[in-house]
Amino acid sequence: MLGPGKARLLEAIRDTGSISAAGRAMEMSYKRAWMLVEEMNAAFQDPLVDSTRGGPGGGGARVTEAGLRVLALYRSVQATAALAASEDIAALKAMLRGPTGGI
């Protein structure tokens, strides 16, 4: 339903006001970006992105209030998980070869 890529796409749409510009910023096609938006909109009770078609005045897209809330919750889950796993992550890093690991 939502992962790191879709969260980044939501942020890019929020920042650019455009699905195509967000896709370009993430080096993905408009078709792929649009497909991901459709998947997110279908997965949640309320749409996360609202878009208008192009034309003389141009089109655009905006992340809805529901989309902003979902994005905030997702980022909160990520932060909570990183904090909870920090000791285990440090232990794994200590087991690595090279400059980031042990000996």
* Domain boundaries along the sequence of the chain: 4-94
Q: Is the pLDDT of residue 56 over 70?
A: no
Contact 49, 67 (CB under 8 A): yes
Whether domain 4-94 has CATH 1.10.10.10: the reply is yes
For 41-53, what is the mean pLDDT? 94
Residue 101: predicted pLDDT? 56
Eight-state DSSP code of residue 100: T
Q: Is the pLDDT of residue 58 over 70?
A: no
- For 59-71, write each residue's pLDDT tens digit: 789 999 999 999 9
The CA-based diameter of the chain, rounded to the nearest angstrom, is 63
State how far Cα 18 lies from the chain centre. Answer: 14
Contact 59, 20 (CB under 8 A): no
